[in-house]
Amino acid sequence: MSEPKKRLLTGLQSSGDLHIGNYFGALKPFLDMYQEYDSLLMVADYHALTSLRDADVMRRNTVNVVKDYLAVGVDPKKCIVFRQSDNQDHMELAWVYNCLVTVPFLQLAHSYKDKVAKGIEANAGLFTYPMLQAADITLYDTDVVPVGEDQRQHLEYTREAVGKFNRAYAEILKEPKEIILDAVGIVPGIDGNKMAKSAGNGIPLFGTTEEIENAVMKIVTDSDGEKPELVYNIHRLLKSEEELEKIYRDNAGRYGDLKKILAADLESFIAPMREVRNQITDADVAEVLEDGAARAREISNKTMKKVRQAIGIA
Ligand code: ADP
Ligand code: TRP
């Protein structure tokens, strides 16, 4: 008999339009491996609520993120594509974790500290964010979680929360492992900081030709040296080192030309996916999410039944 497939889960926040950092850091690794696993791909809309307070934008973003998932090539028949808020088990398990971990432990989370340092409101949802993520992952007995480098600590927090639960009650929940592609690392934004939806420094994954060109032209270039490091670091996601070696040699010092080449390469990479995306309707998205919610609940309900028994509320 063949071994059952291991389970894989990842999610992206629906806090804005996806950028190429999301693609190379999270979606591409997911696409490369999801069929070898029993996979789930989530829209983390309750996580987005920590930073978003506009109901129309919230609704629109969910639809857009699902369209993005389908357009990059995710087949919803070969995995479960679902929305976090469609399954209330996430909220419930997050609460259980919140009652196990301490405030000082959560205060050490880099992503929380970074966001607060940037002046983002320290709402309690933002503070307990890692425990909702721990719930997302562990409700499904997840083995592996492909994410970008910035999420490493959230996986450590998940394992810590699981350990606390299992020691306090019973060995019910599984400790997941992250999968982080070293080659990608953190994709820099056009200002040199981590590309992030909230930072306004992204190259949109499904931008128009013009939007992509405008973003590329705004990439900060260092004034000394032959090679604009930032332009190169984004370019290397699309072309091999050998190919780039020639392009950057032939155009040494001509930053404007190098940016034009990068914009053209991005356009050839994005255009076919954009075509596919234009064919996907809101009704297609609704259908995918309805099916995904039912399949997701079927798995998580079993976990929650055990959790409720273990903590003494059932
Ligand atoms: P953002 O930081 O833009 O709001 P999310 O927090 O929703 O994006 O991240 C979704 C996924 O994309 C995560 O796995 C995250 O690690 C990955 N990711 C986000 N930004 C980058 C980046 N600049 N480089 C690599 N991966 C990234
Ligand atoms: N916190 C993740 C991010 O910002 C998004 C996310 C929410 C996630 N739940 C998850 C990622 C579960 C992996 C698994 O990128």
**Ligand index nearest the alpha carbon of residue 45:** 2
pLDDT of residue 72: 98
Closest alpha carbon to 114 in 13, 199, 43, 172: 199
What is the domain-level CATH number for residue 52?
3.40.50.620
Task: Indicate if ligand 2 lies below 6 Å from the C-beta of 47.
Answer: yes
The Å distance, Cα 136 to ligand 2 centre, comes to: 8
- The Cα–Cα gap between 244 and 145 comes to 31
**One domain, residues 174 and 216:** no
**One domain, residues 86 and 230:** no
| pTM score | 0.94
pLDDT at 298 over 80: yes
Evaluate whether residue 307 is within a structural domain.
yes
Evaluate whether residue 200 is within a structural domain.
no
Ligand 1 nearest-atom number relative to CA 10 = 14
Is the separation of the CB atoms in 44 and 14 below 8 Å? yes
**One domain, residues 62 and 116:** yes
Q: Above pLDDT 70, what percent of the chain?
A: 98
**Per the structure block, which two tokens stand in for 102?**
């301490």
pLDDT at 244 over 90: yes
**One domain, residues 158 and 252:** no
Spell out where the chain has E strands. 7-13, 38-44, 80-83, 144-146, 177-179
pLDDT of residue 193: 92
How far is C-alpha 101 from the geometric centre of its chain's CA atoms? 24
Residue whose CB lies within 8 A of the most ligand 1 atoms, among 13, 22, 195, for a mutation test: 22
Q: Whose CA is nearest to atom 13 of ligand 2?
A: 10
**One domain, residues 60 and 89:** yes
Evaluate whether residue 143 is within a structural domain.
yes
Evaluate whether residue 191 is within a structural domain.
no
What is the tens place of the pLDDT at every residue in 145-196? Answer: 999 888 999 999 999 999 999 999 999 999 999 999 877 778 999 999 999 9
For the beta carbon of residue 65, count every other beta carbon within 10 angstroms. Answer: 28
**One domain, residues 247 and 290:** no
Total structural domains in the chain?
A: 2
**One domain, residues 289 and 149:** yes
Ligand 1: residues within 6 Å at CB?
12-13, 15, 21-22, 25-26, 147-148, 150-151, 184, 186-187, 194-198
The length of the chain, given as a count of residues: 314
**One domain, residues 268 and 288:** no
Task: From residue 185, give the alpha-carbon distance in Å to each of 27, 71, 248.
Answer: 14, 23, 22
pLDDT of residue 223: 57
**One domain, residues 296 and 167:** yes
Amino acid at 102: T
Residue whose CB lies within 8 A of the most ligand 2 atoms, among 7, 9, 12, for a mutation test: 12
**One domain, residues 115 and 251:** no
pLDDT of residue 210: 97
The Å distance, Cα 30 to ligand 1 centre, comes to: 13
Residue whose CB lies within 8 A of the most ligand 2 atoms, among 8, 13, 33, for a mutation test: 13
Evaluate whether residue 96 is within a structural domain.
yes
Distance between start and end Cα atoms, the chain: 36
Task: Indicate if ligand 2 lies below 6 Å from the C-beta of 137.
Answer: yes
| CB under 8 A, 24+ apart: contacts of 66-69 | 66/285, 66/288, 66/289, 67/277, 67/280, 67/285, 68/18, 68/27, 68/205, 68/206, 68/277, 69/27, 69/41, 69/43
Residue 257's domain comprises 207-277
Evaluate whether residue 251 is within a structural domain.
yes
Q: How confident is the model at residue 224 (pLDDT cuts 50, 70, 90)?
A: low
What does R_g of the chain's alpha carbons equal in angstroms? 21
75: DSSP letter: -
Mean pLDDT for all residues in the chain: 95
pLDDT of residue 214: 96
**One domain, residues 113 and 241:** no
**One domain, residues 143 and 225:** no
The Å distance, Cα 19 to ligand 2 centre, comes to: 15
Evaluate whether residue 202 is within a structural domain.
no
What is the domain-level CATH number for residue 266?
1.10.240.10
Evaluate whether residue 291 is within a structural domain.
yes
What is the tens place of the pLDDT at every residue in 1-46? Answer: 678 999 999 999 999 999 999 999 889 999 999 999 999 999 999 9
The Å distance, Cα 88 to ligand 1 centre, comes to: 24
